[in-house]
Structure formats: structure tokens, C-alpha cells
Structure 1
Amino acid sequence: MSNRFDARFYQRFYMNPQTRVTTRDEMARRAGMVAALVKQLELPVKRILDAGCGLGWLRAPLLEAFPEATYIGLEVSEHLCQEHGWVNESLADYRPRGRFDLIVCYDVMQYLSDRESAQAMANLARLSRGALYFHAPTQEDWRDNADRDTSDSNITLRRASWYRSRLARHFEHAGFGVHVRRGVPWGQWELERSG
């Protein structure tokens, strides 16, 4: 899979203004939203894992929000690991020392098989000691929300329930894609909770 994510892939989906799926500014806003919610929940952040970090556009805004934290970028693209110094490994197999206070897993699972994705989901629980920001496009997203002109269609789409059931085993949803590891103390007012 690492060969799939070569310089041409990132040029097309991230650098070319006509075909890019996101921008550095959009990713900075996303990082700001995640950081604000994690801070509101009063969850300490000393170690950050960006699983599937790509070009690392979340790195600077997350470290600005959490200046005492260390950041590890995990990526399967050999090209990007050589260029940026990320850890070259799949989330399904990653076994570092220690756990992370904040894990970002943004748009990774659709590139994994069902077996690999289930392993990666279980690994997220093993690696987390705090907050997880999780996002993956679902079948409904592809139908109703995705810009198919700029989105990579060579992906595996699953139902939201597939992800939610696996997340619920180890995490509680706090809102906007942020989940908190079960057993970690945090509070939320009743009307702030979903459902």
C-alpha cells in the first residue's frame, strides 16, 4: 500500500488547487476544533499520535494548542516518511512504547481492508489513554457529502454503525468526532451529549 501513496497521490489530492480534497487552512480549523473540545473536557495532552498524518498539516496547529506535547506522525507512505521523518508503519500493526493522550485518526480506515481496519480500531483502544479524534467517510457520506471530483474513489466504504460499534467498546463519544477512552474522568452536561 505504501507505493500507492507516492508523490503523485499527494500532488493530486492535496497540492493541486483544482483536484485537492482539503487545504492546509481547513486542516488547521479541524485541529483547532479538536483542541478546543479536548481542552473544554479538561483532558491533559502530553503525547499526540497523528495516525495517517499525510503531509502533517495537523502538526503545527496541534502543537500550538498543546505546546508541552510531543507529536508522532504515523504514515504508510514511504515517500512522506522519507520527506518528513514520520514513522513508517500501519496503524493496524503499530506497537510503540507508551500510550497517547490525543490520537487523531482522520480519513485512514477507508484505505484498509475490513480485517486491517478492525485491527487498527482495536489498536486505537490499546494506544489511547485519553482522547481520540476519529473520522472516516461512510457509505452515506459518499452518497450525500463527498465531492467525488476531488475524492479518492479507490476506498472501502462501510456503514457508520460498523465504526460506531467498534468505537463504543472502548470510547464514549463527546461530540464532533472526539471520543474519550472509557475510564478516563471527564464531564459533560446532559444537553451537550448526543442522544
Structure 2
Amino acid sequence: MSKRFDASFYRRFYMNPRTRVTTRTEMARRAGMVAALVKQLELPVKRILDAGCGLGWLRAPLLQAFPGARYVGLEVSEHLCREHGWVHESLASYRPRGRFDLIICYDVMQYLSDRETVQALANLGRLSRGALYFHAPTREDWRDNADRSTSDGDINLRDAAWYRSRLSRHFEHAGFGIHVRRGVPWGQWELERSVRDG
């Protein structure tokens, strides 16, 4: 896994304007959206875990949104850990001291086996004491939403319901990919919810 995410992978999917799947600007917008929703839910953020942080494009905008917060970048790519100083570990086995107020898990799970994904999802529940931003391409996305000319097709696709059922064991979905750890007090008007948790 670590060798797959070498310099050529990031040149193709992040640096080359013709083949990249996202941009630094799009990631800054995403960080702004996550921060705005977490602030609206009045969830304090002092520790941030960016699980599968890649090039770290979320780091600066998240730290700008949450001054004084501590950011931990977690990454399996040996190349990126050498380049940027990220923690070299898989989300499936990561066991730090303490928990995190905000966890970002963006486009990670599709690269893990079903077994590793189940372990990683359970670990998100252990590591969280607040908010989780979660995104992974699903079978439905691959069929209806993905730009296959730039997207990495060498991935494990699962139904959205598969993810939702496992996330709901530890989290309530607040909308736009934001999940709140069960037991954490937070406020949201009924019609602001994307779906009602049962």
C-alpha cells in the first residue's frame, strides 16, 4: 500500500492540471465548509486528525479556521511522510494518546480492504470525541458522479448504505458529510438534518 502512493501517484492525481482529481483551491473550499458546519454545531476543536492527509492541503485552512488547534497528519505514503513529516500509519491500526475533536477522513476507505475498512471505521469511533468529516466514493458515485477520466479506478467500491450502517454505530449524521460522535451534545433544527437517525 505504501509503495502505491509514490511521487508519481501524486503527480498524476494532484499536480498535473490535465489528470488531477482535485485542486488546492477546491480543498480549501472543502475545509471552509467543514469548519463552518462544525462551528454552527458549536463543537469545540482543539485537536484535528487528518487521516489520509495526502499533500496536506486541508491543514492551513483548518488551522486558520481553528486558531490554536493542533493538527496531526496521518498518511500511509512513505514518500509523503518523508516530504512533509506526517505520521506514517494506517487508520486501521493507528493508536495515539488521546482523542480528536475533529477528524477528517476524505477519500481513504476506497483503498482499504473490507476487513481494514471495518477496522478503520471502528477506530474512527474510538478516536473521536466530537466531529467527523467522512467521504468515500461509493458504487453509486462511481455510476452517477465520478469523472472517470481523472478518478483512480483501482479502488474498492461499496454501497453508501454499507458505510452508513457502520458509521451509525458511533456517529449521528448531521449533513454534508459531517458526523457527530454519539453522546456528544449538539444542536440542529430538524429540517437542517439530511436524514433523521432512527
- In which range does the TM-score fall when normalised by the shorter chain? over 0.9
Q: Deviation per CA, 1:9-62: give whole Å up to 9, x if none.
A: 000000000000000000000000000000000000000000000000000000
Cα RMSD of the aligned pairs, angstroms, is: 0.4
Q: CA–CA distance in 1 between the matches of 2:117 and 2:48?
A: 21
Q: CA–CA distance in 2 between the matches of 1:161 and 1:190?
A: 22
What's 2:106 paired with?
106
What's 1:58 paired with?
58
Q: CA–CA distance in 2 between the matches of 1:74 and 1:85?
A: 10
Q: CA–CA distance in 2 between the matches of 1:85 and 1:194?
A: 37
1:126 positional shift:
0.2
1:6-85 matched pairs, under 5 angstroms = 6-85=6-85
Q: Using structure 1 for the length normalisation, give the TM-score.
A: 0.99
Specify every segment of 5 or more residues in structure 1 that has no aligned partner in the other structure, as ranges. none
Q: Deviation per CA, 1:104-155: give whole Å up to 9, x if none.
A: 0000000000000000000000000000000000001001110111011110
**Percentage of identical aligned residues:** 86
1:70 positional shift:
0.3
What's 1:124 paired with?
124
What's 1:194 paired with?
194
Corresponding residue SS for 1:42: coil
Name segments (4+ residues, structure 1) moved above 4 Å: none
1:129-144 matched pairs, under 5 angstroms = 129-144=129-144
Corresponding residue SS for 1:57: coil
1:190 positional shift:
1.1
Q: CA–CA distance in 2 between the matches of 1:4 and 1:191?
A: 43
Alignment length (residue pairs): 195
Corresponding residue SS for 1:60: helix
What's 1:178 paired with?
178
Specify every segment of 5 or more residues in structure 2 that has no aligned partner in the other structure, as ranges. none
Q: CA–CA distance in 2 between the matches of 1:190 and 1:145?
A: 28
Q: Deviation per CA, 1:83-117: give whole Å up to 9, x if none.
A: 00000000000000000000000000000000000
1:68 positional shift:
1.4
What's 1:165 paired with?
165
Q: Deviation per CA, 1:152-179: give whole Å up to 9, x if none.
A: 1110000001100001001000110000
